[in-house]
Structure 1
Amino acid sequence: MDRRSLLKASAATGAASALTLSTVTFAQAADGRGEQSRRVTGELPTGAPDFVYLPIEVPSGVREIHVAYSYDRPTVPAGTQGNACDIGVFDERGTELGGRGFRGWSGGARTEFTISAEDATPGYLPGPVGAGTWHVVLGPYTVAPQGLRYEVTITLRHGPRGRTPRPVYPPQRARGRGRAWYRGDSHLHTVHSDGKRTPREVATAARAAGLDFITTTEHNTHSAHAAWDGLWGDDLLILTGEEVTTRNGHVLALGVDPGTFVDWRYRARDNAFGRFARKIRQADGLVVPAHPHASCVGCNWKFGFNEADAVEVWNGPFTLEDDVSIAEWDNALVAAVRGGRPWLPAMGNSDAHREGQTVGLPQTVVLADDLSRPAVLAGIRAGRSWIAESAAIDLAFTALGGRGRHAGIGGRLPAARDERVTVRLEISGAPAKGTVRFLTDQGQLFATATPASGSGTVEWQTTPSYAAYVRAEVRHAPADGGTSGVPGPMAAMTNPIFLGDH
């Protein structure tokens, strides 16, 4: 297969760099029946463009398109990335960045997919196989020094076009408990991307974890938005979203309108992220950078936080990467409070993909006016939330001033600079031999052991001149007994309460 052109700032895709291959053509079926296949092979060098487009001329009368692909995995030197190649497809409406042609993406999770009007492989969208130029897109994520040899087989099956089912999306509210604290996990994967659980299995696991809401966030596809029919209920609100997986980091499009697709084909240097952050907000969703300091290839967040509505500082079982994310977030809090600028709330999610990865570890607990999409998103955006490793831990965090004045998480307690303020943490389900920490813009100013019973109240007094904000952490005992000075894993943490009149 010869290259047609190496496109930089391609007008066709809007991507920073892409390679378009020669077009594959098919004959019109004489009797309107049967199938045809074409096999394409090629090789990509190290440093290949992010996306390689294979145009397919689809004639009229096609009922179904099937694509299978494979690539080699040669042995590479220690410390060197081997071959990894993703796949997806755009239909006859084109490959324009943010355009209407997207029909599905499975990343590296599948070796084949099928699309027809009636049905599609998870990760892909059912609908008519229209005549025109389709594009199979390969995403060479990493390429070995020896290069990446690939093979793509396209099969067109002719016949009468079927009927596309009308998508059924989750409702926007559940019964709830009125204004209350609601527990949720807003970073979850199913078989619609690289997860191993079905939507039904995720819903079951969410209920077992004591969650009130979840968000479906598949990598680079919205195919799962219509996959939850019958799985919601009075006890479980299901929000729709996407994990926008770019080469320079991942961001959750959290709670967007059902059916919203957010493109991912850009890097930080392309100055395109702002456009898609606006699209997320126009779809009434939140922009939440995910696991900003994750060590996996392409996971580290490089777009900055100016467009963010919140940030995922705790992703799955607590690790050093989460501690780094929390430290960065806390530094940003300090800069915001001292500069009089808006602050960025923190949240935590499980990013669970398969059995052995716990849905609801961690979970974000949100104060919302009711169990509805608008109310939950408003609570997250306002920072009226805290993070827990499970539903077994509960807390209430308040700041109290004179004459009955008080403020909760995400709020502000008006008080004179030198007025005495009492900070109170009521906790249950705390880990044995753990630590309660109160942190401010000056760093940690108070710490004590968790109550021996796991339940109790911890209080500390300060003034707005000494602490512009206070937030709480509940930590497990350090694995090394504290000899290194490194705190133990997180059990729960809050967003801040701000102190003072400004």
Structure 2
Amino acid sequence: MKLKIDLHVHTVNSKDGHISLKHLPKIISLKKLNGVAVTDHNHLTKIKFKEALIIPGVEVTTKEGHLIALGVENLIKKGLNAIDAIEKIHEESGLAIAPHPYDFMTSRLNPFKLKGKLDAIETINSSILTFKLSSLLAEKAALKLSLPKVAGSDAHIPEAVGNAYTIIEVSSSSIEEVLKAIKNGRTEPYGKPTLLTNKIKKIILDFKRFNL
């Protein structure tokens, strides 16, 4: 069977996230997804719903840049160097994924400096301004490093969820099976850039939250 999952979503548990946890199942249904990975900034969000698959994750801030930890049971603390963070993720039987490696506007990791350590590369990220170029470079990196390719919207507002997603070939819809399938490369990334209007909406919501 194939699952359609957005592997990079932020909720209100991220300082710049504006997606309510209780509304996640409805959003997932409206976007025709089977599930999402909740990857809040330096915060492990653990939630379960009968209606949708929620993969626990964290977008960890390492010394070198952002790193996604999928399927971990405990929070990977920020401030570690990337290799140490990856080791912690693997100790938790999780996956270490390099998000937006060619987004030149944000904190990112160089996947070539982590050769043999990463489990996958996010080759499509909807939030990147240089969407086409960044996707192309990430695709080339994944091929050169023989790493699985995944996609995530990097959504911080409901409207952006599902703009990018990964089709994952699995034998069951369990979290363990999804993680295994990603690691084994049974993935197909798809996506489109987030609309400018939605980027502006997020900025406005950020201003309101921080009273700027």
TM range (shorter): 0.7 to 0.9
Letter in 1 for 2:184: A
| 1:347-381 alpha-carbon deviations (Å, 9 max, x no partner) | 1001111144x211111010001001111111111
- 1:262 matches 2:72: no
| Structure-2 change in CA distance of 1:302 and 1:378 (3 Å) | same
| Structure-2 change in CA distance of 1:265 and 1:317 (3 Å) | closer
Q: 1:287 aligns with which of 82, 96, 111?
A: 96
Q: Distance in 1 between matches of 2:56 and 2:35?
A: 11
Q: Distance in 1 between matches of 2:132 and 2:91?
A: 30
Aligned length: 189
CA contact (8 A) 1:241 1:254 kept: yes
Letter in 1 for 2:94: G
- 1:360 matches 2:162: yes
Q: 2:6 aligns with which of 175, 185, 198?
A: 185
Higher share in strand: 1
| Structure-2 change in CA distance of 1:262 and 1:371 (3 Å) | same
- 1:374 matches 2:183: no
Q: Distance in 2 between matches of 1:319 and 1:296?
A: 8
State the Cα distance separating 1:211 from its structure 2 match. Answer: 1.3
Q: 1:205 aligns with which of 6, 10, 27?
A: 27
Q: Which residue of 2 aligns with 1:430?
A: none
Higher share in helix: 2
Higher relative contact order structure (alpha carbons within 8 Å, sequence separation ≥ 6): 2
Flag structure 2 segments of 5+ consecutive residues without an equivalent: 193-212
CA contact (8 A) 2:169 2:186 kept: yes
| Structure-2 change in CA distance of 1:281 and 1:265 (3 Å) | same
Letter in 1 for 2:176: P
Q: Distance in 1 between matches of 2:90 and 2:7?
A: 16
Q: Please list, as runs of the form range in 1=range in 2, the aligned pairs for 1:259-338 lying within 5 A after superposition.
A: 260-266=74-80, 272-297=81-106, 299-302=107-110, 304-306=113-115, 307-316=117-126, 319-331=129-141, 333=143, 335=144
CA contact (8 A) 1:315 1:322 kept: no
State the Cα distance separating 1:184 from its structure 2 match. Answer: 0.5
Q: Distance in 2 between matches of 1:332 and 1:244?
A: 21
State the Cα distance separating 1:246 from its structure 2 match. Answer: 3.2
State the Cα distance separating 1:264 from its structure 2 match. Answer: 1.7
CA contact (8 A) 1:215 1:254 kept: yes
Letter in 1 for 2:105: C
Deviates more, 1:343-352 or 1:315-324: 315-324
Q: Distance in 1 between matches of 2:138 and 2:43?
A: 29
User: Radius of gyration: which is bigger?
Assistant: 1
Letter in 1 for 2:165: Q
| Structure-2 change in CA distance of 1:300 and 1:321 (3 Å) | farther
CA contact (8 A) 1:313 1:322 kept: no
Q: Distance in 1 between matches of 2:63 and 2:91?
A: 24
Q: Distance in 2 between matches of 1:389 and 1:331?
A: 18
CA contact (8 A) 1:182 1:212 kept: yes
CA contact (8 A) 1:249 1:292 kept: no
CA RMSD of the aligned region, Å? 2.2
Q: Please list, as runs of the form range in 1=range in 2, the aligned pairs for 1:151-190 lying within 5 A after superposition.
A: 180-190=1-11
| 1:262-281 alpha-carbon deviations (Å, 9 max, x no partner) | 02214xxxxx3222212111
Q: Which residue of 2 aligns with 1:345?
A: 148
| Structure-2 change in CA distance of 1:199 and 1:322 (3 Å) | farther
SS at match of 1:366: strand
SS at match of 1:217: strand
Q: Which residue of 2 aligns with 1:238?
A: 54
Letter in 2 for 1:300: R
Flag structure 1 segments of 5+ consecutive residues without an equivalent: 1-179, 267-271, 337-342, 391-502
